[in-house]
Amino acid sequence: MGPLPQKADVVIIGGGIIGTSIAYYLCKKGVNDVLLLEKSLLGSGATGKCVGGIRTQFSTRINIEFSRLSRKVFDRFEAEFDVDPEFHPIGYLFLASRNDQWEVLKDNARLLKNMGLKVELLEPFEIRDRWPFLRVDDLLGGSYTEKDGFAGPYEVLRGFTSKARHLGAVIREGVEVTDIQTKKGRVHAVETSTGERVITPLLVNAAGPHAARVAAMAGLDLPVRPLRRQLYYTDPFEDVPPHLPMVIDLEYGWYMRKEGQGFLLAGPQDSESSFNQEVDFDGQEWTARRSLHRVPILERSKIAGGWAGLYEISPDHHAIIGPFPELPGFVCANGFSGHGFQHSPATGILVAELIVEGEAKTLDIHPLRPQRFREEDLIFEPLTAFRD
Ligand SMILES: Cc1cc2nc3c(=O)[nH]c(=O)nc-3n(C[C@H](O)[C@H](O)[C@H](O)COP(=O)(O)OP(=O)(O)OC[C@H]3O[C@@H](n4cnc5c(N)ncnc54)[C@H](O)[C@@H]3O)c2cc1C
């Protein structure tokens, strides 16, 4: 592989969907000395565990704007990156069984419509008419966005990575950043597991669930915690309905979508933070119980296997994007709270603008600044696929 460069204009820590997107958009803006360091394999973190959901249904303007900007990129992805992102427009259906959840869906629908986006609020009988395999007797209603869907995380990662490399980015696997050095109050260099040091004025923390550890290397407090989520899939199932949206049950933080001729079923998420990525029997049992409750025909299917991944949760379930005022040269792109895949194009565009032009121009990312936590200026997102 050869030695690492001794210096770089920008060092990106982490080769998931966020780091590779930022690398690509930086190169596209003409920064030609970008070094991305990934401690393991590209995409081996949360990105490789993710189910690829892409939705407009969020509760805050900033999240919806991120979805809208990212969707523009997904829609012309193949033309820009020569890779088919495998987008499946299956639609997204959120289900509410309690008044507070139903109010959230109604508020969201108003916001989406105000922003010119299409969303349908459905009564339980309307849900049953469209998707007869769903149990609806405990529901108050649902909200449906037919143009949402899912895409392939590896395909999108491959697009960002190959184009970034083509434009000159150096992307190295198997190199861990082990320490961050500062000089005169700003970022100066990174130490790595190979024993080499790379001098840089600018670091991007794109370490996903490990983001707090990376920030701590620079003495910074970043409130991002890892949270395990288990997922299971069924054997091919001859009764799988032809039209199956992504279904998210807000009551349990359970969701499902079609995967080939079977189902992909959300398992439980942990209540305590950890880096544990095992699947376990209790998780499988939880999944079977929740899935049978909502989709009784699953009685005739069989869970074939599963995996687990780590969400990177921020206290208000919004990304943390921007520089730390106390350490010039340290930029965060973290805390995506379960929606980092779908927001990766927007994040790449905006972080590149921030670095090259001094501020994000396409969208105002001030609400996502790292210091919002100590300023107690949070922007809570209730519409997540997990409960905490
Ligand atoms: C089960 C599950 C389902 C999900 N479903 C969806 C979904 O439907 N839609 C959606 O939008 N999002 C979803 N997500 C969230 C999404 O996967 C993440 O938000 C996204 O992948 C985060 O990307 P990332 O690049 O920040 O992190 P990662 O992919 O984790 O990449 C970070 C990388 O940094 C590397 N790294 C860490 N520390 C260092 C270091 N010191 N030196 C060098 N490298 C380092 C890691 O090895 C890792 O590869 C899901 C997540 C999970 C766990």
The CA distance from 188 to 8, in Å, is: 11
339 and 213 share one domain: yes
Give residue for tokens 């699947």: 279
The CATH number of the domain where 34 resides is what?
A: 3.50.50.60
pLDDT for the residue 189: 98
46 contact partners, CB below 8 Å, separation of at least 6: 16, 208, 209, 309, 310, 311, 312, 340
Please state the atom number of ligand 1 nearest to the C-alpha of residue 231: 1
Question: Could you tell me the residue range of the domain that residue 219 belongs to?
Answer: 10-51+153-224+316-372
The CATH number of the domain where 280 resides is what?
A: 3.30.9.10
pLDDT for the residue 28: 98
- Number of domains making up the chain: 2
Task: Give the Å distance between the CA of 46 and the centre of ligand 1.
Answer: 3
Note whether 318 and 366 are within 8 A (CB). Answer: no
pLDDT for the residue 384: 82
320 and 214 share one domain: yes
Judge whether 73 lies within some domain.
no
Judge whether 343 lies within some domain.
yes
Which of 221, 204, 203 has its CA nearest to residue 212? 221
User: Torsion-angle region of residue 337: left (phi > 0), alpha (psi -120 to 50) or beta?
Assistant: left
122 and 166 share one domain: no
pLDDT for the residue 3: 95
- Number of Cβ atoms within 10 Å of the Cβ of 130: 16
The CA distance from 36 to 14, in Å, is: 7
pLDDT for the residue 168: 97
| Residue among 192, 336, 342, 347 to mutate when testing ligand 1 (max atoms within 8 A of CB) | 336
Judge whether 388 lies within some domain.
no
Judge whether 37 lies within some domain.
yes
187 and 283 share one domain: no
163 and 219 share one domain: yes
The CA distance from 367 to 373, in Å, is: 11
137 and 157 share one domain: no
pTM: 0.97
Point out the residues of the chain with pLDDT beneath 70.
Answer: 388
Please state the atom number of ligand 1 nearest to the C-alpha of residue 178: 41
Whether 338 is in the pocket of ligand 1, judged by its Cβ within 6 Å, is yes
Task: Give the Å distance between the CA of 153 and the centre of ligand 1.
Answer: 10
140 and 264 share one domain: yes
pLDDT for the residue 207: 98
What pLDDT digit, counting tens, does each position of 123-142 carry?
Answer: 999 999 999 999 999 999 99
Whether 40 is in the pocket of ligand 1, judged by its Cβ within 6 Å, is yes
Question: Closest Cα to atom 38, ligand 1: which residue?
Answer: 207
Which of 279, 304, 291, 309 has its CA nearest to residue 248? 291
Question: Closest Cα to atom 15, ligand 1: which residue?
Answer: 338
292 and 329 share one domain: no
270 and 307 share one domain: yes
Task: Give the Å distance between the CA of 20 and the centre of ligand 1.
Answer: 11
pLDDT for the residue 385: 76
